[in-house]
A and B are shown apart, each in its own frame.
Chain A
């Protein structure tokens, strides 16, 4: 049966809001350095037969606490339009760095969402691990890593057992860095291994598992 109908995109703005952002900070900023970013993109889904990324947007701010730790926070603007105040707050901690431009960082993050309609709240902890390599006199930053979302609730609607307590994502990104601006393109494989059928949303995944996502980012440092 052709099940393409608006119900499949009712979740357009929010159902995957937890995956609506690329990695906020991959390589820690220098102490006192700040940046503001705008991110746009989301998981790909089939709509009217064509693949489209969910147009999810967010703005983020980051500041170098020291040369190895950067704190960041965000506001999910698409979610806000739907009456959901969502933020992800966390730090990027450098675990290893090599003078040749290679490094490894970890991002512990808290994702918090509250709706303005009924006041329902959710908190999802997240842990990301990324490896990066600077290229071409630091004009390019190539990175790859994984992030895991944790569901704290053991039950879901109607007292049913929550089947997924953790969602695994993998990301591969490239940043083109100019003097003050940088541009990011990140691809994600969301919900790795998680069956996406049956479902009201036609995600584009791999063999009906997970969803592929594309994200764009514009960052201004100062």
Chain B
């Protein structure tokens, strides 16, 4: 009987200390003490030439409070607004939700590229480091991701942005926040949605990795599920994905998300030869920015 009790106790201890891989989702491996933007010399997907430079006067560093409902506390998160602050009340703003890697410096080139959609500094661009990323406080979480992006939307709203002039852009992991906040709006309702290399869901990642059908609950509690969330998105959608994406395959991830969108308008751009993160460079910066511009201005 004692042996049974011991086995029961051992089994319970093991189960009560269950590991989850949720926190391992987030790639925070490159630590920084300051944002260097163009001075950042670490690995980047691409670097733009000097013609894409943005004067410092048009880069506004922001420190915003993001409230965690679950923890009932605020986190200080960092963001950059690129463009003319005074135009927020009258013109379009692109909110860029970056991918899983590192911090805003890694994505600075992308943000600059977006600041050239429709012409140099034609539209304002706001992007942020989610909690735990870059110099933002805290540790990442799925709900934290949404709260942090919404904190930025709230700031834009205070600056005078309205729903009709908000374009939501998500890349890779950032597509979860972009899709979630388009389907279940909080401070603002995005007018249009742009998804670059979205993942379908944790379940698809598991199934792709296993080769067999495997529930995602076997390894994570995350509920990130773009393939289902997108069904609730009625806003126009622009989807782009590298045909050679070896990380989030276009067939099992991107195509599923695109197919499940049931809104009034959607367009797809499958970029030959592009791996994950290579869409703008492989497509060509001019093609990329012109396509986005056309989508944004489309009535």
Contact = CB atoms under 8 A, between A and B. Distances in A.
Interface in A124-170: 124, 149, 151, 153, 155-158, 160, 162, 164, 167
Given A5-B100, A149-B212, A200-B209, A13 B278 contact: no
B185 interface: no
Contacts of A84: 218-219
A122 B214 contact: yes
B275 interface: yes
A5 B71 CA distance: 28
What 8 A-B pairs have minimum CB-CB distances, sorted nearest first? A198-B249, A157-B203, A83-B18, A120-B215, A5-B27, A15-B209, A1-B277, A118-B217
B200 A158 contact: yes
Contacts of B228: 158
A81 interface: yes
B221 A117 contact: yes
Nearest to A3: B247
Interface residues of A, number: 48
Contact of A17 (B15, B100, B218, B247): B218
Interface of A: 1-3, 5-7, 9-18, 79-84, 113, 115-118, 120, 122, 124, 149, 151, 153, 155-158, 160, 162, 164, 167, 191, 194, 197-201
Interface of B: 14-15, 17-21, 24-27, 29, 43, 45, 100-101, 200-201, 203-221, 227-228, 245-250, 252, 256, 260, 275-278
Contacts, number: 154
Contact of B25 (A6, A80, A201): A6
Contact of A7 (B25, B204, B208): B25
Contacts of A80: 14-15
11 contacts: A3-B246, A10-B205, A13-B219, A15-B214, A18-B212, A81-B18, A115-B215, A155-B213, A157-B213, A199-B208, A200-B247
B101 A198 contact: no
Contact of B26 (A6, A124, A160): A6
B221 to A, nearest CB: 6
Nearest to A208: B246
A82 B20 contact: yes
A6 B214 CA distance: 20
A149 B211 CA distance: 10
Contacts of B15: 80, 83, 116
Contacts of B250: 198
Contact of A11 (B19, B206, B215): B206
Contacts of A113: 218
A198 B6 CA distance: 45
Given A167-B212, A200-B248, 6 more contacts: A5-B100, A9-B24, A11-B219, A151-B212, A199-B247, A200-B208
A10 B25 contact: yes
A157 B101 contact: no
A12 B21 contact: yes
A67 B176 CA distance: 57
A11 B227 CA distance: 20
Contact of B227 (A116, A151, A158, A191): A158
B20 A11 contact: no
A135 B163 CA distance: 77
Contact of A2 (B19, B43, B260): B43
Given A17-B218, A80-B15, A118-B215, A198 B248 contact: yes
A198 B205 contact: no
Given A7-B27, A15-B214, A158-B256, A82 B200 contact: no
